[in-house]
């Protein structure tokens, strides 16, 4: 979290699960929620990075694409107020550059993980007549076509469809579901993709240049929107898609 972030205790007394919380957007969200007073359960497959989170957060190594692991985790955690689905994987390539095995892996990570988490967390939210589910999608989806993102954009488009389906099915039961669509955001995942290019410096410049604001997004900026959607301030918002992309999709 940045030192100048305004902390107001907006999530005091709430219990939140953030998936893929070891790095990037998930980590920034876990740290912001914790600072805002939430009891945070942070999950990831990266045990080493999870250890770097605040000792007061509860952490667990969970593979979001593994239905059994997810079910057992939520059973042990008990009812929650907030679920943030951050698990994601970016496959680079056109559909012709994506094998069926890669396609299946992308769908397991990007959409099946959200199905498992929502399926496990939702019943307790319904019994308590309240909850906020926040799904991290992407502008590479129904929002905008992005070159060489066939599998990734398909999965993230499905995230938006899932978000709207959950929202409409449970709008009268006190449960809200919204999606955030980040643009190009500075994360370890982005660094890995940039470093895979023959000329990483040129690739980074190209990633930056495609935003009209001429910079990358920061994980803390996405976490700020997630905080709003998790809080009671957004209680009239459900089924919505919030774009944070530096103007890329304009």
Residues whose CB is less than 8 angstroms from the CB of residue 241 and which lie 6 or more positions away in sequence, other chains included: 137, 143, 160, 163, 178, 179, 180, 181
The DSSP secondary structure of 82-149, one letter per residue, reads EEEE-------B-GGG--HHHHHHHHIIIIIHHHHHHHHHHHHHHHHT-EEEEEE--SBTTTB--TTB
Question: Distance of CA 16 to CAs 4, 199, 244, Å?
Answer: 23, 40, 22
* Catalytic annotation, pick one of 89, 115, 152, 248: 152
89 is catalytic: no
Question: Which residues are tagged catalytic?
Answer: 152
């Amino acid at each position: 979290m940045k030192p100048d972030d305004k902390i107001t205790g907006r999530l005091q007394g709430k219990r939140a699960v953030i998936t893929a919380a070891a790095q990037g957007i998930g980590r920034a969200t876990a740290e912001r929620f914790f600072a805002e007073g939430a009891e945070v359960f942070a999950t990831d497959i990266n045990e080493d990075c999870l250890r770097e989170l605040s000792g007061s957060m509860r952490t667990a190594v969970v593979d979001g694409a593994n239905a059994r692991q997810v079910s057992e985790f939520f059973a042990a955690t008990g009812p929650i107020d907030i679920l943030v689905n951050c698990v994601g994987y970016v496959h680079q390539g056109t559909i012709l550059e994506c094998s069926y095995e890669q396609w299946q892996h992308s769908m397991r990570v990007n959409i099946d993980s959200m199905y498992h988490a929502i399926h496990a967390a939702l019943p307790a939210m319904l019994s308590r007549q309240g909850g906020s589910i926040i799904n991290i999608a992407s502008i590479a989806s129904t929002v905008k076509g992005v070159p060489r993102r066939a599998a990734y954009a398909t999965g993230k488009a499905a995230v938006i469809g899932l978000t709207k389906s959950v929202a409409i099915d449970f709008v009268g039961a006190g449960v809200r579901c919204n999606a955030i669509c980040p643009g190009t955001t500075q994360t370890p995942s982005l660094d890995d993709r940039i470093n895979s290019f023959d000329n990483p410096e040129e690739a980074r410049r190209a990633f930056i240049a495609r935003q009209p604001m001429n910079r990358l997004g920061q994980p803390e900026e996405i976490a700020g929107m997630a905080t709003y959607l998790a809080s009671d301030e957004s209680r009239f918002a459900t089924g919505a898609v919030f774009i944070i992309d530096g103007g890329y999709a304009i």
